[in-house]
Amino acid sequence: MLVFVVSLGRVTSSERRRNRCGAGETTTVGFYVRKSVKAGPFRFNLSKSGVGVSVGVPGFRLGSGPRGNYVHMGANGVYYRTSLGSTPTGGLRAGLASAPAYVPYNPGAVVLEDVTGATTIDMQPTGGGEIVEQLNAAARHTRLAWWILAAAALLGAATLPFGLIVWLLAIPLCWWLFLRDAAKTKAVVFYDVNDAAAQQFDELVTNWGWFTDATKLWRTVASGQVHTLHQHKRNAGASNIVQKVDASASLSGPKNLATNVAVPTVIAGKTSLHFLPDRVLVRDGKTYTDVSYAHLRVQGRQQQFIEAPGVTPRDSVKVGQTWQYVNKKGGPDRRFSNNPVLPIMLYSNLDLTNVQGLNWRVQCSRPDAAAALENTLRRMEAAAG
């Protein structure tokens, strides 16, 4: 397992003294930066000297770090720690790497085209380093522990009373396999973020609340333009029809990444975006790629959107109404007795693209969300360029 340490920005010795605090965390800015990360049975620790790793149970741990190998044991205030005499090694480092409208009913003859862009397999990583390769290896690792456990349970049950021996032998083997699987399915990345880079990433983490606190998030996956008057009248007067999937936002990051910073994340089905201090991870199922901020193009804007009748997002704004069937002047078509009123809501769109085919449109029920995040991401794009 490789451990990546990515440094962004510079910091003076006096600033380092001010930023040091207890409990394994530093509070240079609003987002937290942990000094230790767990990946399976291993604990990775970041210090000024480099990266160390340890494994063990409470009261006994074996470890290796910049100052050599060691053993640490003890409890209840009495502890013993000794070096195992290995040659110190430095920590591993890697280089830095009219608006569309939606209606929930059958769009009729309007042809929808996929707008999700290129797949992660087609997009070459632009963030630098080996982080993407390690993430892909972790995501595709085959977990053996559960298969071995099931096989041992069946074999033991079929050969009782000798099966008890099988079960006793399987316990340490399965325990080791579970720990191995937990470590193999994680890529470990430490970030040391300072100066302007820290301020920009802190701003992104803070502004991510526009998404995490929103009532609704969606990703647009298909779009079709309304061409004829007949289509226009049957689709609430919309100029475009889109297909969307529900999305969610968090600060948790992908399950295959162990890191010491909060990771703004948006997930839509089997796809997701994860914003790190130096790059955007793009996931599709078990495949990852990345986009450096220098190659990311961002646009945010508000949009009027025709919604289905019923409950609308509480944090959006209703700006008008229309009908499911309209006449050529935009009023209700009186030929239809069942012609429900549809609210027109004000949402916001955040478009994330690049020249290699990335194409994400995240729609948020909060009208001002996209503008706040666009400004932050554009500053990160300018700094990276």
pLDDT band at 74 (very low <50, low <70, confident <90, very high): low
Nearest one of 372, 301, 382 to 100, comparing CA atoms: 301
pLDDT at 112: 78
**Residue with more model confidence, 126 or 99:** 126
Where residue 358 falls (left for φ over 0; alpha for ψ -120 to 50; beta otherwise) is: beta
**Residue with more model confidence, 272 or 129:** 272
pLDDT at 385: 72
Q: Is the pLDDT of residue 367 over 90?
A: yes
Q: Is the pLDDT of residue 95 over 70?
A: no
**Residue with more model confidence, 66 or 310:** 310
Place of tokens 């201090």: 277
Strands 78-83 and 60-65: unpaired
Place of tokens 């044991």: 73
* Amino acid letter, 56: G
Neighbouring residues of 357: CB distance < 8 A, sequence distance ≥ 6: 117, 118, 122, 123
The 10 Å CB-count burial string (b at 16+, else e) for 194-220 is beebbbbbbbbbbbbebbeebebbbbb
Q: What is the mean pLDDT of residues 65-82?
A: 57
Report d(CA 169, CA 211) in Å as an integer. Answer: 50
Q: Are the beta carbons of 291 and 273 closer than 8 angstroms? A: no
Q: Is the pLDDT of residue 81 over 90?
A: no
pLDDT band at 84 (very low <50, low <70, confident <90, very high): low
Lowest model confidence (mean pLDDT) among 15-19, 105-109, 160-164, 212-216: 15-19
Lowest model confidence (mean pLDDT) among 32-36, 99-103, 331-335: 99-103
The CA–CA distances, whole Å, from 174 to 43, 98, 140, 142, 216 equal: 21, 60, 20, 14, 42
pLDDT at 26: 38
pLDDT band at 225 (very low <50, low <70, confident <90, very high): confident
**Residue with more model confidence, 366 or 190:** 366
Lowest model confidence (mean pLDDT) among 44-48, 104-108, 255-259, 265-269: 104-108
Q: In what order do the strands lie in the sheet with 187-193?
A: 3-8, 187-193, 257-259
pLDDT at 266: 97
Q: What is the mean pLDDT of the chain?
A: 80
Taking only the tens place, the pLDDT of each residue in 19-49 is 433 334 433 445 556 666 766 666 766 666 6
Mutual angle of helices 145-158 and 163-184, in 10-degree steps: 170
Q: Is the pLDDT of residue 82 over 60?
A: no
With a pLDDT cut of 90, the percent of the chain lying above it is 37
Q: Are the beta carbons of 316 and 345 closer than 8 angstroms? A: yes
The CA–CA distances, whole Å, from 88 to 6, 56, 82, 92, 189 equal: 21, 20, 14, 13, 21
With a pLDDT cut of 70, the percent of the chain lying above it is 72
Q: What is the mean pLDDT of residues 66-85?
A: 56
Q: Are the beta carbons of 221 and 284 closer than 8 angstroms? A: no
With H, G, I as helix, E, B as strand and everything else as coil, classify residue 325: coil
The CA–CA distances, whole Å, from 317 to 245, 303, 331, 368, 369 equal: 21, 11, 22, 11, 13
Taking only the tens place, the pLDDT of each residue in 349-361 is 999 999 989 999 9
**Residue with more model confidence, 274 or 26:** 274
| Structural domain boundaries in the chain | 3-95, 113-129+207-384, 142-184
**Residue 253 φ/ψ, nearest 5 degrees:** 80, 175
- Quick one: DSSP state of residue 111? P
Q: Is the pLDDT of residue 16 over 60?
A: no
Q: Are the beta carbons of 99 and 241 closer than 8 angstroms? A: no
Q: What is the mean pLDDT of residues 312-326?
A: 92
* 22 exposure class (CB count in 10 Å sphere: 0-12, 13-18, 19+): exposed
Taking only the tens place, the pLDDT of each residue in 112-124 is 788 888 888 888 8
Q: Are the beta carbons of 261 and 102 closer than 8 angstroms? A: no
pLDDT at 162: 87
* Amino acid letter, 311: V
Q: Is the pLDDT of residue 198 over 60?
A: yes
Report d(CA 141, CA 150) in Å as an integer. Answer: 19
pLDDT band at 97 (very low <50, low <70, confident <90, very high): very low
Q: What is the mean pLDDT of residues 79-98?
A: 42
pLDDT band at 291 (very low <50, low <70, confident <90, very high): very high
Place of tokens 């290995």: 86
pLDDT at 346: 95
- Indicate the helix (H) or strand (E) that contains 27: none
pLDDT at 197: 86
Name, of 40-44, 103-107, 202-206, the range with top average pLDDT.
202-206
Nearest one of 106, 348, 113, 118 to 218, comparing CA atoms: 348
